[in-house]
A and B are shown apart, each in its own frame.
Chain A
Amino acid sequence: MAFGKYKEVMALKAKDAKVTGVAQDGGVVTSILCYALEQGVIDGALLAAKSDTPWLPKPVVATTKEEIIAAAGTKYTISPNMSAIKSAAREYALDKIAIVGTPCQIYAARKMQLYPFGARHIADKIALTVGIFCTENFSYAGLKTVIEDHCKVPIESVTKMEIGKGKFSVKGAKDVAIPIKETHKYEQDGCHVCSDLTAEFADISTGSIGTPDGWSTCFTRTTKGSDLMKKALAAGLFEKKEMAEFAAPMGLAMLEKLETGKKDKAKKTVADRTALGLFTTPGIVY
């Protein structure tokens, strides 16, 4: 089944201007987290926030709406959000933690819940997981090379980055777009054995692929995720459209094409590595 198990899929756009002004696309992650915090579903969230180094994210424990909004926007290099979970459960004494992460980080959260070795009284405090669509990720040095050597702009001048329509684009002092294939060599190697584009194990997963600018494609996958989203929709947080409104090549057709591409690439990489006699985690591709 394409996109893993899910209950509903929809196109969403946040209505709150404070969110849409800073969000990457439809503002789904920021809005749903703020709503969950207000409703007491969560009492804090692990997020990738800005650090002192331009575009190098750092994991933070956000416990207010302001902190959640301040962390909005995609960063294309990895933020080890799971590393902050113990701090959230201990020094912050959070009981209901939300985790926002890439599909691999959602795996980590689910594995921690399944066998919480070394995570005593931590995994049971995970209250919500929000997964972000991910085709691949860059190391920070790789990202900097893409921006400064390929796009030819200083990284500190960049205000937004996007991947879409076959391009990697940066906006800021100068808007530049380069073919996405130029960036492939800077991807993290681990991403090449990953089969998951749509964060198939999250409660809610979302990303821009398949919907027009300013909108996000959103899956609800669990009862918890579905119930929360229904309440958020009833509370008028989002404009909603059916995915069927976006005909091929947009919509789910586009998402499925990219997802299949990622899964096929992972299978091929695993086969290549196995042929070389290298170890690959059993069952890593599906």
Chain B
Amino acid sequence: MEFAPVASSRFCGICPITHASASTDSIERALGITPPKDGVVLKHLCNMGNKLHSHPLHQLLILPDFAKDPNAALAATVRIQKMRKIGQNIVDITGGEAIHAPNIRIGGMKTNISEAAKRKILESLKAYEPIMKENNEFLLKIFQASDVPEKLGVHNNELMATDLHYGNADLFEQEYFYRFSEVTPRSFYPKPEVGEEACGTAPLIGGKAVEGGPKARMTRFAGFGAKDCGKFDPKGAMAINIARVLEIPLTLQKATELATQLDTTKPTMTKPPEAGGDGQRLGVGPQEAPRGVNVHVAKVKEGKIAYYNCLVATTWNILTIGKACEGQHYKWAEHVVRAYDPCVSCSTHLIVVDEDGKLVAEDTI
């Protein structure tokens, strides 16, 4: 069973922390074990560090859509990289590695951090704040100045969020899981040939596609709405970009709270029973990943995985992304996709240079 978080964290190089956390949380629930308090705090802090890097990274990838002044874009890029560095450093310290953190274990976190490391994290979070403020002001301004249609990406699909920061398995089970179903893309999409091109599955809540991510979290838990969106529709794609900006200060605040409350002298691991698990109990681990909800579910029998399923953030969101692209000129479709997930290949920015490094072509695909 120890291999499940190691393997599933390799789904993604940007959000490995949330996958490892969802995996360990689901297995812990299947085994019926609870990590020590400081193990939970440290794991949450690790996830906040990941979000403090991942949200700015997302902003870097949408920057060419909005920042038309190259000097301003360069300054924003520098700020973003500084923010990412701090976020990644927090994951390095708490998780053991920023990319695929080996300290995230079934039963908590492999090791606590030193008091000096805790102080460093708190200092770095202080340093993060002014950079973030400047960057957020800049981004909100260029979003409002853009010519993106005000109602781009508006849809009426349900928003799915379990927590503002980490993920709440109890809430997920009470509000979503009993309505959950999973169908093949071929049966979900109106045209079979579209579904046949898709890979993965179509996870549904109440028989319909949902949206997870910053807009869903902020709407449900932080009162996000029309007042925050300026000219844009709070149900649209630009609202996701805005919610992401507004979520960063809350993540920063949460990270500071967690780091402050961490007792570096206490244990962080509850050793899981080597032959634990009855093979019947289904453990559910929903995780509020930067771009959506990661849901890992597991059954464990005598220390081995008996059943495992992962519904990653974009597997949920991709169904809504398609819907949100409808109703506007096709040139805006890529803006919709990028608002949800820059990892999707169709949202990639492309440049072609010749042997001398001269720009031959530039496009956003």
B100-125 with Cβ < 8 A to chain A:
103, 111-114, 116-117, 120-121
Nearest residue, chain B, Cβ from A64: B116
Instruction: Across the interface, name the chain B residue whose C-beta is closest to A90.
Output: B96
* Chain B residue at smallest Cβ distance from A43: B116
The reply to whether A93 and B121 form a contact with Cβ atoms under 8 Å apart is yes
A89 surroundings in chain B (CB, below 8 A): 92
Decide yes or no whether B2 CB sits under 8 A from chain A: no
Q: Are A92 and B116 in contact (CB under 8 A)?
A: yes
Cα(A90)–Cα(B89), bound, Å: 9
Residues of A within 8 A of B121 (CB): 93
Q: Separation in Å of the B89 CB from the closest CB of chain A?
A: 8
Q: Which of chain B's residues have a CB closer than 8 A to the CB of A92?
A: 113-114, 116-117
Selected contact of B97 from candidates A43, A93, A94, A120, CB within 8 Å: A120
| Structural contact, B116 and A93, CB atoms closer than 8 A | yes
Which residue on B lies nearest to A95, using beta carbons? B120
* Chain B interface size range: 10 to 19
Report A234-256 CB contacts with B as 1/0, cut-off 8 Å. 00000000000000000000000
The listed residue (A43, A63, A121) touching B92 by CB distance below 8 A is A121
- B339 neighbours in A (Cβ, 8 Å): none
- Minimum Cβ distance to chain A for residue B295 (Å): 29
Chain A CB within 8 A of B318 CB: no
Bound CA–CA A120/B112 (angstroms): 20
Tell me whether A91 is interfacial, beta carbon within 8 Å: yes
Instruction: Give chain B interface residues in 162-197, CB to chain A under 8 Å.
Output: none
User: Roughly how many angstroms separate A93 CA and B117 CA in the complex, as a whole number?
Assistant: 5
Report the bound CA distance from A92 to B114 in whole Å.
5
Residue of A nearest to B118 (CB): A93
B93 located at the interface, meaning its Cβ lies under 8 Å from any Cβ of chain A in the complex:
yes
When distances are taken between beta carbons in the complex, the residues of chain A under 8 Å from B93 are 90-91, 93
A87 partner residues in chain B, CB cutoff 8 A: 111
A63 to B117, CA, bound (A): 11
Q: Is the CB of A93 within 8 A of B114?
A: yes
Residues of A within 8 A of B116 (CB): 43, 63, 92-94
Bound CA–CA A121/B88 (angstroms): 11
Structural contact, A63 and B114, CB atoms closer than 8 A: yes
Residues of A close to B97: CB separation below 8 A? 90, 120
- Residues from 41 to 95 in A contacting B, C-beta threshold 8 Å: 43, 63, 86-87, 89-94
Q: Which chain A residues border B96 with CB–CB below 8 Å?
A: 86, 90-91
Rounded to whole Å, the gap between the CB of B190 and the closest CB of chain A is 46
How near does chain B come to A237, taking the closest CB pair, in angstroms? Answer: 25
Residues in B with CB closer than 8 Å to A91 are 93, 96, 111-114, 117
How distant is B185 from chain A, measured CB to nearest CB, in Å?
37
Closest-CB distance, A178 to chain B (whole angstroms): 42
Name the residue of chain A whose CB is nearest to the CB of B96. Answer: A90
Q: Which of B93, B103, B111, B116 has the most CB of A within 10 A?
A: B116
Q: Which residue of B lies closest to A87 (CB)?
A: B111
Most buried by A among B99, B112, B113, B121: B113
Contact A93 B120 (CB under 8 A): yes
**B112 contacts across to A, CB distance below 8 A:** 91
Query: Can you name the residue of chain B whose Cβ is closest to the Cβ of A91?
Result: B113
Question: CA separation between A165 and B99, bound complex, in Å?
Answer: 52
How many angstroms between the C-alpha atoms of A63 and B114 in the bound complex?
10
- Residue among A63, A87, A90 having the largest count of chain B Cβ atoms under 10 Å: A90
Contact residues in B for A120 (Cβ distance below 8 Å): 97-99
Q: Give chain A nearest CB distance to B139 CB in angstroms.
A: 28
Complexed CA–CA distance, A90 and B88 (Å)? 11
User: Closest chain A residue to B88 by CB distance?
Assistant: A121
Give bound CA distance, A121 to B112, whole Å: 19
State which of B98, B103, B111, B113 has its C-beta within 8 Å of the C-beta of A93: B113
Between A43, A63, A89, A92, the greatest number of chain B beta carbons within 10 A of the residue's beta carbon is seen for A92
What are 14 A-B pairs at a CB distance below 8 A? A63-B114, A86-B96, A89-B92, A91-B93, A91-B96, A91-B117, A92-B113, A92-B114, A93-B93, A93-B116, A93-B120, A93-B121, A120-B97, A120-B99
> Which 6 A-B pairs give the minimum distances between C-beta atoms?
A93-B117, A93-B120, A92-B114, A91-B113, A93-B93, A90-B96
- Name 14 extra pairs, CB < 8 A, besides A92-B114, A93-B120: A63-B116, A87-B111, A89-B92, A90-B93, A90-B97, A91-B93, A91-B111, A91-B113, A93-B114, A93-B116, A94-B116, A120-B98, A120-B99, A121-B92
